[in-house]
Amino acid sequence: MLRIRAGSVHPVTAPPIEDGAVLVDDRGTIAAVGPNSLVPTPPEARALDFPQARLLPGLVNTHTHLELTHLAGKDAEREFAGWIRTLRALKDATSPEEFSHSAEQGVRDAWAAGVTCVADTGSTGTPLEALARLGGRGIYYQEVFGPDPTKCGASMAELEQAVARLRRFASSHLSLGISPHAPYTVSEPLYRAVAEFARRDALPLAVHLAESRDETALVRDGAGSFAEALRARGIPVTPRGCSPVEYLLRLGVLEHATGWLCIHCVQVDERDIDILRQAGVGLAHCPRSNRAHGHGTAPLAAFRRAGLRVGLGTDSVVSVGDSSLWAEAAAAGLDGEDALRMLTLEGARALGREDEIGSLEVGKQADLVVFPSTILHRPPPPSTALLTLVAGRVVHG
Ligand SMILES: [Zn+2]
């Protein structure tokens, strides 16, 4: 057993407790939380004391690309389509061992930043392997690409093979999902096939959606730099006359999508927001990435008014340079308890995990983090967690 006492304890679902404590049982769940004087002190429990610090639920990062950790600062391309091309070349030049080390570093960086659950998308499977090897929590979505409709079968075969290989890494703490990457890299038949596969095999699904203006131009008008690049490769482009969100609705991808994750959602209007709400999807809001690529600002206030489940995501370090969720909260205009709630319970809700994680409550998983007391009002450098626990196990500090 482990007993942690801190200057303040923030359950999120209850008011902060001055001089509080949390007792973690041997199954890795929270056995007690409250004022220090009321939390039991079993003689066998190891005691840790942080009188100057805050004890919080572990943070939830709803969008990462951990396999790209080694590429931080390596892609200086400013225009988005060019940035993606450069990223693809950098990935092509990466060996399997480098991806493996990169993903492992990404997991350790997340823990050092107080993140105890990630929703990660990748194409190599190494983030899921690293999380399994190191004892992390999260969802890993295996990406599938294929803008050419005639190559849908080959893309699906590759995806099904990858899923068959990666299934053994899934556990009570780790889920395997799939991700048809984005409207400019996935053909119409591939979207349909991937969504059907997800439903048939009960796999969670994540999509990058309504991110750039060029994506909207491609879907609505068959124009813009993505459209030109596809045509240059001999791939037909069809103007859909609707927004990217409505396009996925028409394809059936947003049917029975409860618990699925839509990433970015910057280029959306009220009707799109309504479609997303009715679909029951969670959203990953990535304000620093959207800003870095010049996509604009996602309407967070409108999402929350509509009752959408929204968490914050850092996206890859190639886009934003580090994996600090506190910096994302600041970029979203949040601070204090509001920021804390968004980074914990709301993130857990966006991933459909709020029954397990996201707050300090008896019976929930002991995913905990201790931060310096300034944390709620001054975004810190990325690696400032003093102690991080996943399911009651110390993984950092
Ligand atoms: Zn992304």
Terminal CA-CA length for the chain: 17
Residue 73's identity, in one-letter code, is G
Q: What pLDDT does 321 receive?
A: 81
For 129, residues 6+ apart whose C-beta sits below 8 A from its C-beta are: 100, 103, 166, 169
CA of 315 to the centre of ligand 1 (A): 5
- 24, 392 Cβ separation under 8 angstroms: yes
Ligand 1: centre distance to CA 355 (Å): 26
> What is the percent of the chain with per-residue pLDDT over 70, rounded to a whole number?
99
Q: How far apart are CA 76 and CA 78, in angstroms?
A: 6
pLDDT value, residue 386: 96
Taking residues 183-209, report their average pLDDT.
Answer: 96
Q: How much is the pLDDT for 375?
A: 85
Cα 8 to middle of ligand 1, angstroms: 35
Residue 299: pLDDT over 80: yes
Question: What's the CA-to-centroid distance between 264 and ligand 1, angstroms?
Answer: 8
* Interval 82-104: pLDDT, tens: 898 899 999 999 999 999 999 99
The answer to whether 17 and 9 have CB atoms below 8 angstroms apart is yes
Per-residue buried b or exposed e for 223-262, using 16+ beta carbons within 10 Å of the residue's own CB:
ebbbbebbeeeebebeebebbbbbbbbebebbeebebbbb
* Portion of the chain with pLDDT greater than 90, in percent: 89
pLDDT digits (tens, 9 = 90+) for 251-298: 999 988 888 999 999 999 999 999 999 999 999 999 999 998 999 999
Determine the distance separating the centroid of ligand 1 and the alpha carbon of 63, expressed in angstroms: 7
**How many Å apart are CA 138 and CA 50, to the nearest integer?**
27
Rounded Cα distance, 394 and 207, in Å: 32
Confidence of residue 198 (pLDDT cuts 50, 70, 90): very high
Q: How far is the CA of 74 from the centre of ligand 1 (A)?
A: 16
Looking at residue 322, the DSSP 8-state letter turns out to be: S
Tens of pLDDT, residue by residue over 361-393, are 999 999 999 999 988 877 777 678 999 999 999
pLDDT at 364: 98
Burial of 324 from C-beta contacts in 10 A (0-12 / 13-18 / 19+): buried
Query: Measured in angstroms, how far is the CA atom of residue 265 from the centroid of ligand 1?
Result: 11
Cα(392) to centroid(ligand 1), Å: 29
Rounded Cα gap, residues 154 and 135, in angstroms: 33
User: Pairing mode, if any, of strands 2-9 and 17-24?
Assistant: antiparallel
Identify the structural domains of the chain with CATH numbers, from first to last: 2-57+361-396 (2.30.40.10), 59-350 (3.20.20.140)
Residue 16 burial by CB count (10 A; 0-12/13-18/19+): exposed, middle or buried? middle
| Span from the CA of 304 to the centroid of ligand 1 (angstroms) | 21
Q: What whole-number distance in Å separates Cα of residue 316 and Cα of residue 69?
A: 7
DSSP 323-355: --HHHHHHHTT--HHHHHHIIIIIHHHHTT-TT
- Is residue 374 within 8 A of residue 53, CB to CB? The reply is no
Q: What tens digit of pLDDT does each residue of 301-351 get?
A: 999 999 999 999 999 888 888 888 999 999 999 989 999 999 999 999 999
pLDDT at 203 over 90: yes
pLDDT band at 237 (very low <50, low <70, confident <90, very high): very high
